[in-house]
């Protein structure tokens, strides 16, 4: 016979697993944001110059590669969450969390490169190098004007886009998964 304490332990373990899953979604987003920085660098300086000169071909290819890469972290996360979740809220939250963490790490990495003078033509913004008069004023102006504003510009897109992707995968994959459960539970009762 199962006692109440065993059930409580099982519920606690299940809740811990759920928390770990959400941390993993955030970690996937954080890692992707940094990888995306290097991917975009390769896209601009590695692949870009080697594309055909015809803009009818090269521009759509660059747009698809530039924005399509953002499907890489969110599709597996939202599909997995759609198959586990009982409602549409789970995949929506997972999509939002993943994309917002990716955006956050992308712009934190951007700020770190900027602060260390590692961006092309902005080497003089190294916080550890020599400073001219008004350095810190200009430095914070650039951080606020470029990095922070771009982050604030993209975060609503991450929230809306992540939510839409979560809802779409719930509709596609969660629906199929729920049908499978309904079919298998009907077969067990007959």
pLDDT one-digit tens code per residue, 52-97: 787 788 788 888 988 999 999 999 999 999 988 889 999 999 999 9
- Quote the pTM value: 0.79
Length of the chain: 190
Cβ-count burial of 37 within 10 angstroms (0-12 exposed, 13-18 middle, 19+ buried)?
Answer: middle
Q: pLDDT tens-digit profile of 153-169?
A: 999 999 999 999 999 99
Q: Are 25 and 94 in contact (CB under 8 A)?
A: yes
Whether 2 shows a pLDDT value over 80: the answer reads: no
Q: Which residues contact 77 (CB under 8 A, 6 or more apart)?
A: 25, 28, 94, 95, 98
Q: Are 123 and 50 in contact (CB under 8 A)?
A: no
Phi-psi region of 121 (alpha: psi -120 to 50; beta: other; left: phi over 0): left
Band of residue 8 on the pLDDT scale cut at 50, 70, 90: low
pLDDT at position 88:
94
């Amino acid at each position: 016979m199962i006692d109440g304490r065993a059930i409580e332990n099982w519920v606690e373990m299940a809740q811990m697993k759920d928390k770990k899953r959400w941390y993993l979604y955030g970690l996937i987003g954080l890692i992707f944001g940094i990888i995306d920085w290097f991917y975009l660098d390769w896209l601009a300086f590695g692949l870009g110059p080697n594309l055909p000169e015809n803009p009818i071909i090269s521009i759509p290819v660059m747009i698809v590669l530039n924005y399509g890469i953002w499907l890489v972290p969110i599709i597996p996360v939202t599909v997995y969450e759609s198959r586990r979740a009982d409602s549409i809220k789970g995949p929506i939250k997972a999509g939002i969390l993943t994309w917002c963490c990716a955006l956050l790490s992308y712009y934190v990495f951007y700020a770190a490169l900027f602060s260390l003078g590692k961006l092309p033509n902005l080497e003089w913004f190294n916080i550890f190098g020599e400073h001219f008069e008004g350095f810190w004023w200009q430095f914070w102006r650039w951080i606020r004007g470029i990095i922070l504003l771009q982050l604030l510009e993209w975060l609503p897109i991450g929230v809306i886009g992540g939510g839409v992707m979560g809802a779409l995968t719930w509709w596609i994959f969660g629906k199929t998964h729920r049908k499978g459960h309904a079919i298998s539970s009907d077969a067990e009762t007959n």
